[in-house]
Structure 1
Amino acid sequence: MTRIALVTGANQGLGFALVRGLAARLAPEDLVLLTGRDTGRVTAAAARVTADPATRSRVEGRVLDVSDPAAVARLAGELGAVDIVLSNAIGPLDPGRPQAEQADVFLDVANGGTHAVLRSFGPVLRAGGRLIVVASSLGALGHLPEALRPRFDGVPLDDVEKAVEDWRSAIHDGTARERGWPEWINAPSKVAQVAAVRAVAAGRREADVAAGTLVAAVCPGLVDTRASRPWFSDFSQAQTPDEAARAVLDLVFAGLDPATYGELVRFGRVLPWHSGAPAA
Structure 2
Amino acid sequence: MTTSRIALVTGANQGLGRAFVEGLAARMAPQDLVLLTGRNEQRVADATQEIVRLPDTRARVEGQVLDVTGTEAVARLAEELRARHGGVDVVISNAVARVLPEESQAARADEFIDVSNTATHAVLRSFGPVLRPGGRLLVVASSLGTLGHLDARLHHLFDDASLDQVEYAVESWRSAIHHGTAAEAGWPLWLNVPSKVAQVAAVRAVAAARRTQDLADGTLLASVCPGMVDTATSRPWFSDYSQAQTPAQAAAAVLDLVFAEHVDPSLYGELIRFGKALPWHDGEPLTEQDGMLVP
| Band of TM-score, shorter chain | over 0.9
Q: In 1, distance between residues paired with 2:236 and 2:170? A: 25
Q: CA-to-partner distance for each residue in 1:57-98, whole Å, 9 max, x for gaps?
A: 000000001100000000000000000000000012121111
Q: What is the aligned counterpart of 2:232 among 217, 226, 240?
A: 226
Q: How does 1:17-96 map to 2 (within 5 A)?
A: 17-80=19-82, 81-96=87-102
1:272 equivalent in structure 2 = 279
Please say if 1:236 is aligned against 2:219: no
TM (norm. structure 1) is 0.99
Aligned equivalents of 1:247 and 1:134: distance in 2? 12
Amino acid of the residue matched to residue 200 of structure 2?
V
CA distance in 1, matches of 2:121, 2:166: 9
Does the aligned pair in 2 maintain the 1:39–1:63 contact within 8 Å?
yes
Aligned-pair distance for 1:220?
Answer: 0.1
Aligned mates of 2:181, 2:100 — CA distance in 1: 22
Matched with 1:111 is 117
What's the counterpart of residue 214 of structure 2?
208
SS where residue 214 of structure 2 aligns? helix
Paired residues of 1:216 and 1:260 also in contact (CA < 8 A): yes
Q: Partner residue of 1:143?
A: 149
Q: Distance in 1 between matches of 2:123 and 2:240?
A: 33
**Of residues 176, 180, 188 in structure 1, which corresponds to 2:186?**
180
SS of 1:260 mapped into structure 2: coil
2:263 paired with 1:256: yes
SS for the counterpart of 1:62 is: strand
CA distance in 2, matches of 1:252, 1:183: 34
Aligned length, in residue pairs? 280
The SS at the match of 2:185 is coil
Give CA-to-partner distance per residue, 1:163-203, whole Å, 9 cap, x none. Answer: 00000010011000011000111000000000000000000
Q: What's the offset of the Cα at 1:20?
A: 0.1
2:293 aligned partner: none
Match of 2:168 among 152, 158, 162: 162
Note if contact 1:10-1:34 (Cα within 8 Å) is conserved in structure 2. Answer: yes
Q: Displacement, 1:43?
A: 0.3
Q: Which runs of 4+ in 1 moved over 4 A?
A: none
Q: Which amino acid aligns with 2:177?
A: I
Cα separation, 2, equivalents of 1:258 and 1:128: 13
Unpaired segments ≥5 residues, structure 2: 288-295
1:108-137 per-residue CA deviation (whole Å, 9 max, x = no partner) reads: 000011000000000000000000000000
Please name the residue that 1:125 is paired with. 131
Maintained 8 Å contact 1:140/1:191:
yes
Distance in structure 2 (CA, Å) of the matches to 1:153 and 1:145: 13
1:212-231 CA-partner distances (Å, limit 9, x unpaired): 00000000000000000111
Q: Identity of counterpart residues, as a percentage?
A: 67
C-alpha separation in 2, matches of 1:181 and 1:40: 38
CA contact (8 A) 1:92 1:105 kept: no
SS of equivalent to 1:259: coil
SS of equivalent to 1:49: helix
